Structure 1
Amino acid sequence: MTNSSSFNLTYSDDLIAILSIDVKGESQNVLKESFIGDFNDLLDEIEQSDALGVILTSAKPDTFIAGADINMLKAMQDRESIAKIADAGYATFKRLENFKIPVVAEINGACLGGGLEMSLACHGRVASDDKATKFALPEVQIGLLPGGGGTQRLPELIGVVEALGMMTTGMHIPAQKAYRMGLVDRLSNKTYLRQASKDLLSALRQNKIKRNELTSSDWKNPTKLINHVLNRQLIKTKPVRDFILDKARAKVLAKTKGKYPAPLKIIDCVEAWGRDGMPLGFETEARLFADLVLSPEAKQLMNLFFAITDLKKERFISGRTKPKTIERLGVVGGGLMGSGIALVTAEKANTPVRVQEMSRKALDNCMNYAYMHLQKKLKRRRIKPAAAKQVQQRITGTTDYSGFANCDLVVEAAFESLEVKHEVIKNIEKNSPKGVIIATNTSSIPITEIASAAKKPENVIGMHYFSPVEKMPLLEIIKTEQTSDKAITTAVEFGRKQGKTVIVVSDGAGFYTSRILAAYMNEAARVLSMGVPVEDIDRAMVEFGFPVG
């Protein structure tokens, strides 16, 4: 075995080099500056061996490579330092692409950014069908473009339309869809992943892998036939290329209003690929990557990334109080907000939910909310039927409070009336376990006033979700002077399980979000009172960067 700061190299009995990525001191594999040197040293060793093939895998659970080290990117302050790292990356991936024996990327878990670009330079890719296996080029979300050849190799592999969709949005692609797109060559259960990798190596050695060719069934499928001709042949012609890329630019501008340069530069790179071919396309990518790294938009988006990352680690309490384990959530009120809270709890937190409503019809509407959401995901193949059924079965309802005796946390999403909420608080305490934590989803009523009706006000906390709950990432948690550390840390941890970005604020008028919104709305009202048409105000705010005006 040969070890380095980023890799472990072993050889199997059947002469396969197992090159395992294991970046020391990191919970996930990330591409650091030392990564390239270590990788080339081990490729040198493999070249001198009798190995018949290479399997590039990961020693980290549920992560292949999570992308480049953003600290490294942020530290690059001039074109010279950017070019030094970029050129080393291009040369290494080109070496991998031209390696004398086949190299297969064996992917389980997150394969993101530079990790996906590295796998694209391999001769083949095998992925586990585990739900943790995701593929993405998310650089656009920090104001950058894929700088390791991704803008060139991805459209070459899966076609320009799918590639632009991935790169201009940063969307995550599950393993099953990646296989259908042609992003990976084989899909396997995690248990048999190694054998699948060896089988692909054998097929590559025998030149049995044919990509970008239509099968007999594809010829009978008009959609596949049109996409194949469009992506593989017509895209190289100027009129078709211009049409597709102009449409892509218009779509990007409709969303970004021109405030974010990265998506447009990604399209420029793909245009260079279609017009000039890969060698000159790589040069375009390198030049535009450097432009973006030094741009003010990228610097601020990286700052935002670090702020959100730090926020995810924040405990919000000074002591070491551990959160309460939530085995079942109660929700009082099955309207729009209550239905959304129940949905993210069942789907993201994998936790059973008991919803209380006044009538069976209201409960049916709540259940249908989850059903329609899951049907959309099924139609788009973003969830398997068995998984969708499990999510739906986690949500149950009652017109009284039966089942609340098993709830560890109850969120009330009742009508915005202090009197109604006081009654709800009393009913929750009456029908739930002695130490139940009660969260209110109010957006306007002081939490202290709501908690005044509770026998144990220290167990009452605000959990202010935003609509629609399944789409809006923020969760505002509001503590009073009486709220216990146990209630705070429990609400924080459970909110994170629901997939939320959590902030904790003290009880006060408007909490945090409504308070800053008030200043925004007051200024808009002041300008309106000066005679400026509301349409002009709205248009100005959209152009400034507020997506809904």
Structure 2
Amino acid sequence: MTNHLKSLGLSSFRCHIDTQNIAWVEINCPGIPVNRLSGEVVHELGQLLDYFDRQTPAGLVFMSGKEAGFIAGADIDEFAGLDTPEKARQLVERGWVMFNRLARVTYPTLALIRGHCLGGGLELALACRYRLVVDQPGTSLALPEVMLGIFPGWGGMRRLPETIGAPAALDMMLTGRSADARKAKRLGLADGIVAPRLMEQAASQLVLSGKKRHRASGIPALMNHKLARPLVVRQATAKLDQRDPKKHYPAPRAILEIWAKHNGNALEAPGLIDAIVRSDTARNLVRVFRLQERLKAFGKKADGVTRAGHVHVVGAGVMGGDIAAWCALKGLNVTLQDQDRNRIALAQGRAGKLFARKKKDPREARAAFDRLVPDLDGNGVAHADIVIEAIFENAEAKRELYRELEARMKPTAILATNTSSLSLETLRTELKRPERFLGLHFFNPVSRMPLVEVVETDGVTPEALAAACAFTGQIDKLPLPVRSTPGFLVNAVLAPYMLEAMHCIDEGISSETIDAAMTAFGMPMGPIELIDTVGLDIARDAGQQLSPDTPLPRCLETRLARNNLGRKTGKGFYVWKDDKPVKHSAAIAPSGLAQRLVMPLIEKTQAQLTNGVVADADLADAGVIFGTGFAPFTGGPLHYLATLKDGQPYAQSQTKHPEQPQAHGPGNEQGSTPQSDGATPPQ
């Protein structure tokens, strides 16, 4: 691309003027894998607009010079320097003023969006007259600021409701939910959708088309009228109260207030800017984002590591079948082995529902289904790059299986177990290549739980570990390296938490009261509902594995004797109807109940760190957040412990407004913990 702006000395923008006098501006921030709107980049955008004030083009098209996507948002590294209210206000003002200027230019502008377009990137696109999205995997438009505890302050709160109407806009802003290319077109967020090979031709035609800027119409537009906004706010607030009654998260209510009272201009509410941008919640959610990025970094393909192309899964139960389905969804060829043909059929049925839910194009859903191949005889073993064992928890049965598998596997293949309780050192005793054996511990439900514990033992090669982590990243999961020890990290910290909850029941505190105390604390689900969801027999087995000398709580023994195993039998601590627990009203919780329940979890997290199960405190926090749903607004259990002040949770006491909490839940190979599709993922 010829750089017509070379004389300006811009580092993040290049420009070519074509024969139609269309300016093609390529955004390519140097030295980083994605485009981010740092202060320097926004300043250069101003210089760019100055140039076009003097040399007016027939049209201006913004596009990305990076394969990763359009723009990933603001530079969150700059948040660390917001140590005064004035600096927070200046950050908001910088983008608000610049994007308003872009929206007012006399020539037509277009954002050509390929890949992700997030946060400030979407706000820039909304300031353009047109948006053209490329129909390809990975194209995603979102305002996910709420996940960082902040709001879209650079014009998104005004322009998104004007463009697609208040209901859809608030849904996106309050949840961080994204839209792919087709949904963006359906909402009116995109003016057109185009195949990659035609994108520049289509952009030329649209930017010179003379069409008016798209605006919402009908009822969605009426709901954006100032007279209707109080009704919309009341309805949205009622939902927020249900999700976060203790008001742990400030951003959603701030978004509603700024939209309703200030037409999306946060500069008219400087007190809210400071209360949100510099809040403990925002700092902690930014911390969670960084933890997530660190886990993602483990999943990057290392030099010399070949990406997996074929996965063979042995065991078509809930975990094995769902692992196989997820791998097929993510583009891998998968063979699923089991002695029971009916079990494979059930796994295929669940897979079909997953593919239909995740792939809106029936052709893509069918392609995913075709990649999942039933394999009663295990013929796929010889072709697999990774073989995952997910059979029942019996050490001898697993060792016998490994003898058969290893004889048929490629020498370069990895053998992984999904065990959550058995010692890897015990399982590998008869392997000829133990250096290529490790754990890949998924959580249930596989389609919703982001974490995978990558379990290593002494002697495992660095190449095998790197390949396992890269495979985890390849299927869009977060790899957490952990050492082999009973329960690893996540199950080990959940066991004392659930045990303490059952001790409370033995003392006469109701299940509802216990669960209400912990959901008020910020957990996605209470510990008693969790036990019912996982299964009381599984809770017993895990407890005996992790604490063999600890007697079972009376309440657990009683229910086990009646074969009341929780959700799977329809009755445990709760009666289950329509796959949901029937709960009575909770009593007033005894003082300090939440702290009593959560402290065993925190102490066990500290113990696992001390014992070297994870490398450092940040990884311990990351594992517990993404594996159990530990309240994200706290920044993680060890971070939370460090903020305790005078015996009270300091971070919690500083929270001013509610935000929709993250709803990641724990699980193991027998149970499942649902996650709301509208929950705030860390994302």
TM-score over 0.5 for the alignment? yes
Partner of 2:20: 14
Partner of 1:33: 39
Determine helix, strand or coil for the equivalent of 2:173: helix
Equivalent positions of 1:5-404 (< 5 A) are: 5-204=11-210, 208-209=211-212, 211-212=214-215, 228-236=217-225, 238=227, 240-257=228-245, 258-272=247-261, 277=263, 281-284=265-268, 287-314=271-298, 322-348=304-330, 350-377=331-358, 382-404=359-381
Determine helix, strand or coil for the equivalent of 2:281: helix
Amino acid at match of 1:47: D
Partner of 1:539: 516
Partner of 1:218: none
* Whole-angstrom distance in 2 between the partners of 1:78 and 1:133: 36
Partner of 1:225: none
Determine helix, strand or coil for the equivalent of 1:505: strand
Amino acid at match of 1:262: A
Residue 237 of structure 1 deviates from its aligned partner by: 5.8
Deviating more after overlay: 252-261 vs 28-37: 252-261
Determine helix, strand or coil for the equivalent of 2:479: strand
Partner of 1:447: 424
8 Å Cα contact 1:146/1:289 also seen in 2: no
* Whole-angstrom distance in 1 between the partners of 2:29 and 2:461: 40
Residue 178 of structure 1 deviates from its aligned partner by: 0.3
Structure 1 residues 327, 242: CA separation in 2 closer, same or farther (over 3 Å shift)?
A: same
8 Å Cα contact 2:391/2:398 also seen in 1: yes
* Whole-angstrom distance in 1 between the partners of 2:291 and 2:244: 22
Residues 460-515 of structure 1, C-alpha deviations (whole Å, 9 max, x = no match): 21111000111100001111123222321121110111111111111112111111
Residue 353 of structure 1 deviates from its aligned partner by: 0.7
Determine helix, strand or coil for the equivalent of 1:236: coil
Partner of 1:428: 405
1:493 aligns with 2:470: yes
Determine helix, strand or coil for the equivalent of 2:37: coil
Deviating more after overlay: 467-476 vs 361-370: 361-370
Deviating more after overlay: 140-149 vs 183-192: 183-192
Equivalent positions of 1:438-517 (< 5 A) are: 438-517=415-494
Determine helix, strand or coil for the equivalent of 2:453: strand
Residue 419 of structure 1 deviates from its aligned partner by: 2.2
* Whole-angstrom distance in 1 between the partners of 2:298 and 2:340: 40
* Whole-angstrom distance in 2 between the partners of 1:210 and 1:59: 26
Structure 1 residues 51, 28: CA separation in 2 closer, same or farther (over 3 Å shift)?
A: same
Residues 276-310 of structure 1, C-alpha deviations (whole Å, 9 max, x = no match): x46xx453466534321110000011111112212
Residue 337 of structure 1 deviates from its aligned partner by: 0.4
Residue 344 of structure 1 deviates from its aligned partner by: 1.6
Residue 120 of structure 1 deviates from its aligned partner by: 0.7
Instruction: Give 1:523's match in structure 2, choosing from 478, 496, 500.
Output: 500
8 Å Cα contact 1:144/1:262 also seen in 2: yes
* Whole-angstrom distance in 1 between the partners of 2:270 and 2:67: 32
8 Å Cα contact 2:25/2:62 also seen in 1: yes
TM-score where L is the length of structure 2: 0.73
Residue 408 of structure 1 deviates from its aligned partner by: 2.1
TM-score where L is the length of structure 1: 0.90
* Whole-angstrom distance in 1 between the partners of 2:365 and 2:399: 36
8 Å Cα contact 2:389/2:417 also seen in 1: yes
Residue 520 of structure 1 deviates from its aligned partner by: 1.5
* Whole-angstrom distance in 1 between the partners of 2:91 and 2:271: 13
How many residues matched?
519
Amino acid at match of 2:281: E
Residue 435 of structure 1 deviates from its aligned partner by: 4.2
* Whole-angstrom distance in 1 between the partners of 2:270 and 2:75: 18
8 Å Cα contact 2:166/2:223 also seen in 1: no
Residues 135-173 of structure 1, C-alpha deviations (whole Å, 9 max, x = no match): 010111111110101111100110111101111111121
8 Å Cα contact 1:330/1:353 also seen in 2: yes
* Whole-angstrom distance in 2 between the partners of 1:430 and 1:387: 35
8 Å Cα contact 2:387/2:413 also seen in 1: yes
8 Å Cα contact 1:323/1:490 also seen in 2: yes
Determine helix, strand or coil for the equivalent of 1:111: strand
8 Å Cα contact 1:152/1:269 also seen in 2: no
* Whole-angstrom distance in 2 between the partners of 1:322 and 1:18: 37
* Whole-angstrom distance in 2 between the partners of 1:137 and 1:366: 35
Deviating more after overlay: 163-172 vs 12-21: 12-21
Higher RCO (CA-CA < 8 Å; seq separation 6+): 2
Residues 296-338 of structure 1, C-alpha deviations (whole Å, 9 max, x = no match): 0000111111122123224899xx8843542211100011101
Residue 233 of structure 1 deviates from its aligned partner by: 2.2
Partner of 1:222: none
Amino acid at match of 2:409: S
User: Once the two structures are aligned, what percentage of the paired residues are identical?
Assistant: 32
8 Å Cα contact 1:96/1:121 also seen in 2: yes
1:437 aligns with 2:418: no
Residue 253 of structure 1 deviates from its aligned partner by: 2.9
Deviating more after overlay: 382-391 vs 30-39: 382-391
Amino acid at match of 1:397: P
